[in-house]
Amino acid sequence: MPKLSNARFWTVLGSSLVLIVIVAYLSVTNGTFDLSVLDVCKTLLRIDPLPEHDLVVFEFRLPRLVLGALIGCALGTAGAVIQGVTRNGLADPGILGINAGAGMAVVLFMFLFQGVLSTTSWWSVLSMPLFGLIGGLIATAVIYLFATQNGRLDAQRLILVGIAIASGFGAITMYLSLKMNPRDFEMAVVWLSGSIHSANWKFVVMMLPWFLLVPVIWFRSHILDLFQMERDSVRGLGVSVERETNILLLCSIGLVSASVAVSGSIGFVGLIAPHLARRLIGWQHRQIIPISGVIGMAIVMSGDLIGRSVFAPAELAVGIVISIIGVPYYVYLLMRTKK
């Protein structure tokens, strides 16, 4: 059985990576300025490079592609952790209000420094995730405050509290954005829709340190397996439930906050990716976590490709594209839960 499980894991992982390579190929070669594979290879290998090719590949398409992959991996991994900790298949950073809390904090950052804010300055790029982390922690604290009953996290109340928190933080975010000057308001609106069209290498560099949290999560994957039992049973095995829960949630909030800081609120990735991973490979979190990350990468990269190619010359934000897919999927999961 373990051999069969491992074979399925590597098959799913290989298939997902092939899909990612195909999407990457289409993303780099297609657009307003089409490039051939030979043009891209020459540009990457620095063989007779042309300035216009360098601009398209290195300044526009490649950072956008890499950033989309990092965001998808972060959201997919965080979603798997949150669903494992809460034992709720409908839990998701966006649905629980963590995205909204992080987003509100980032918009507050934009509001406080409006008129001098630049998405290309290192100060802004490094400070925004810290604001997002604080907002995500505040949202999580409120969730614990209202969704905990008799010292235990109530899975049913969790969704209701999350929806309320998301609505509240969304209202604050809208109020702050309306108080901005026109230039910063336009930037905030584009960002809130979940867009990576302004991606640059500074955003990529900013995201990379946060991925040090992924090994921390993966080495605790067996704890997530134990969390599928009753909490008293887990304590009986000698596991410090509160400490491990806090560590796992803090790691996932860090990943979500970093993603929200560079792309805005991209919902449903943390919901869909873990569900697909469990249906494809089973319930071992040691395998679910990497597969969720890879599937999340494929979802965000594909959504961005669809948004900028299908609707050309107009461009649809990746967050909107994924929401169009995610809302019906969420309704489907709700219908399944009722049965």
pLDDT at 116: 56
pLDDT at 302: 94
pLDDT at 2: 60
* Residue 74: pLDDT band with limits 50, 70, 90: very high
Q: Evaluate if residue 117 carries a pLDDT over 60.
A: no
Which residues sit opposite 152 in a β-bridge? 149
Tens-digit pLDDT profile for residues 262-284: 888 898 999 999 999 999 998 89
pLDDT at 203: 87
- What whole-number distance in Å separates Cα of residue 80 and Cα of residue 272? 10
pLDDT at 148: 78
Q: What average pLDDT does the segment 93-118 reach?
A: 80
* Residue 4: pLDDT band with limits 50, 70, 90: low
Comparing 5 with 3, the larger pLDDT belongs to 5
pLDDT at 150: 72
pLDDT at 118: 56
DSSP assignment of 100-168:
HHHHHHHHHHHHHTTTT--TTSHHHHHHHHHHHHHHHHHHHHHHHHHHEETTEE-HHHHHHHHHHHHHH
Tens-digit pLDDT profile for residues 316-338: 889 989 988 888 887 887 777 65
Q: What average pLDDT does the segment 193-200 reach?
A: 84
Q: Evaluate if residue 119 carries a pLDDT over 60.
A: no
* Residue 93: pLDDT band with limits 50, 70, 90: confident
* Residue 339: pLDDT band with limits 50, 70, 90: low
Rounded to whole angstroms, the maximal C-alpha distance in the chain is: 68
Q: Evaluate if residue 46 carries a pLDDT over 80.
A: yes
pLDDT at 310: 81
Residue in 289, 323, 330 with CA at minimum distance from that of residue 192: 323
pLDDT at 230: 81
* Residue 79: pLDDT band with limits 50, 70, 90: very high
pLDDT at 275: 92
Query: Which pair of structure tokens corresponds to residue 109?
Result: 């950052």
pTM assigned to the model: 0.91
Mean pLDDT of the chain: 86
Q: Evaluate if residue 232 carries a pLDDT over 70.
A: yes
Q: What average pLDDT does the segment 43-69 reach?
A: 88
Q: What average pLDDT does the segment 295-320 reach?
A: 88
Comparing 46 with 335, the larger pLDDT belongs to 46
Residue 153 phi, psi dihedral angles, 5° rounding = -80, 120
Domains identified in the chain and CATH numbers: 63-338 (1.10.3470.10)
Residue 324 phi, psi dihedral angles, 5° rounding = -60, -35
Q: Evaluate if residue 178 carries a pLDDT over 60.
A: yes
Evaluate the CA torsion angle 210, 216, 219, 222 in order and state its sign: negative
Residue 148 phi, psi dihedral angles, 5° rounding = -95, 130
